[in-house]
């Protein structure tokens, strides 16, 4: 595997590095904006390098202009970064070479079983994600020792047992990937790495030491750890998984909660400082300020005072934001 680009400092340790990794779906909404803003604020507080990485493999089809729009919106909110990673889709070679290494190590296998066949053999879909658990009994008797990208899903042979790590926000975690999703896909039949493989390879080659993201991805931390172990690469990053923003019905923020895109508020004339003021309130920053600058958010944020509960976005929040537009 390629070495990380992050250069060692005088003491020989990696430069602390994080990444802002939006998927260019065109829907940077209040929920993911909050996660990115917290990630950025922690980076600026702690002097971590920030890499902007657009995850354009993590979405079915990227519409023209959406990448530029996503970057523009992050900037409008006041975030900045030190480096821009190449678009994931621009060069699949690093992911292919990871697959070559995994195949040589006997850790991956192709499988043409359909979702239905896997479900029939292994029980109900995984509760939250709709993912189907791939049981070890479905593995082929022999694994090929070379990777061939032949319109087939490739899966990681997940070892039995738990992956333990300490999340800097959630505390100790113990996740049994073999029991939850089993052998998960690392290379898709579309001829692309899966999200799990792409993120693991990129975090490694970009020298990422700190991963901050929504806690719907905490299970993915375990899967990414298993890929790193199979590849024999690197130290695990420090993980920090944050509670999600939900609608008043308790469901993840989505279209049914109205138009919560940052661009929607921006188009209505809501200043960025108002959006940040709402996010600051959600993060337990003291005071109920009308407007908050990104730099003040960065200096005031503390994970110690941030609620461990999910945040609820209410219709009053929506009105409060729009109220700033009419002034
Ligand atoms: N691209 C993912 C998102 O926008 C983030 C993935 C990650 O942080 O690992 O939700």
- Using an 8 Å Cβ cutoff, are 246 and 253 in contact? yes
Q: Is the pTM of this model over 0.75?
A: yes
> Is residue 44 pLDDT above 80, yes or no?
yes
Handedness of CA 239, 216, 109, 55 (dihedral sign): negative
Residue 327's pLDDT is 64
Q: Which atom of ligand 1 is nearest to the CA of 25?
A: 4
**Whole-angstrom Cα distance, residue 6 to residue 118?**
41
> Is residue 12 pLDDT above 90, yes or no?
no
**Whole-angstrom Cα distance, residue 35 to residue 292?**
16
Average model confidence (pLDDT) across the chain: 90
- Using an 8 Å Cβ cutoff, are 113 and 138 in contact? yes
Produce one character per residue of 280-290: b if its CB has 16 or more CB atoms within 10 Å, e if not. Answer: bbbbebeeebe
| Ligand 1 surroundings by CB, under 6 angstroms | 21-23, 32, 55, 58, 199, 213, 217
Q: Which long-range contacts (CB under 8 A, 24 or more apart) does 127-136 make?
A: 128/216, 129/181, 131/181, 131/184, 132/181, 133/180, 133/181, 133/182, 134/181, 134/182, 134/183, 134/184, 135/182, 135/183, 136/160, 136/178, 136/182, 136/183
Q: Which atom of ligand 1 is nearest to the CA of 19?
A: 8
Confidence of residue 124 (pLDDT cuts 50, 70, 90): very low
Confidence of residue 258 (pLDDT cuts 50, 70, 90): confident
Q: Which atom of ligand 1 is nearest to the CA of 224?
A: 9
Distance 220 CA to ligand 1 centre (A): 10
Percentage of the chain surpassing pLDDT 90?
A: 74
**Whole-angstrom Cα distance, residue 117 to residue 153?**
14
Structure token pair of residue 224: 């990414």
Reported as a single tens digit per residue, the pLDDT across 150-202 is 889 999 999 999 999 999 999 999 999 999 999 999 999 989 999 999 999 99
Distance 51 CA to ligand 1 centre (A): 13
Distance 212 CA to ligand 1 centre (A): 9
Domains of the chain with bracketed CATH: 17-89+244-325 (3.40.50.620), 91-202 (3.90.800.10)
Give the CA radius of gyration of the chain.
21
Residue 9's pLDDT is 52
Least confident of 63-67, 143-147, 272-276: 63-67
Distance 190 CA to ligand 1 centre (A): 20
Q: Which atom of ligand 1 is nearest to the CA of 213?
A: 8
């Amino acid at each position: 595997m390629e070495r990380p680009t992050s250069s060692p400092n005088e003491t020989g340790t990696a430069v602390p590095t994080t990444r802002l990794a939006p998927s260019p779906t065109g829907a940077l909404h209040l929920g993911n904006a909050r996660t990115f803003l917290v990630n950025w604020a922690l980076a600026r507080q702690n002097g971590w390098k920030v890499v902007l990485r657009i995850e354009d493999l993590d979405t079915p089809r990227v519409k023209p202009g959406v990448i530029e729009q996503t970057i523009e919106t992050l900037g409008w909110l006041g975030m900045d970064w030190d480096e821009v990673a190449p678009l994931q889709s621009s060069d699949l070679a690093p992911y292919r070479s990871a697959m070559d290494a995994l195949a040589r190590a006997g850790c991956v296998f192709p499988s043409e079983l359909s979702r239905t066949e896997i479900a029939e053999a292994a029980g109900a879909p995984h509760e939250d994600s709709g993912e189907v658990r791939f049981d070890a009994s479905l593995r082929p008797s022999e694994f090929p020792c070379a990777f061939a990208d032949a319109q087939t899903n490739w899966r990681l042979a997940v070892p039995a047992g738990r992956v333990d790590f300490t999340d800097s926000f959630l505390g100790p975690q113990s996740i049994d990937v073999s029991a939850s999703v089993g052998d998960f896909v690392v290379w898709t039949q579309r001829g692309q790495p899966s999200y799990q493989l792409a993120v693991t390879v990129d975090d490694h080659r970009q020298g990422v030491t700190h991963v901050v993201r929504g806690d719907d991805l905490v299970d993915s931390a375990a899967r990414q750890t298993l890929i790193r172990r199979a590849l024999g690469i690197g130290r695990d990053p420090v993980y920090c998984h944050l509670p999600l923003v939900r609608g008043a019905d308790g469901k993840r923020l989505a279209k049914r909660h109205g138009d919560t895109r940052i661009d929607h508020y921006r188009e209505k004339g809501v200043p960025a400082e108002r959006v940040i003021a709402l996010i600051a309130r959600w993060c337990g920053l003291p005071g109920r300020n009308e407007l908050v600058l990104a730099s003040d958010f960065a200096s005031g944020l503390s994970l110690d005072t941030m609620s461990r509960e999910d945040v609820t976005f209410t219709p009053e929040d929506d009105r409060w934001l729009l109220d700033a537009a009419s002034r």
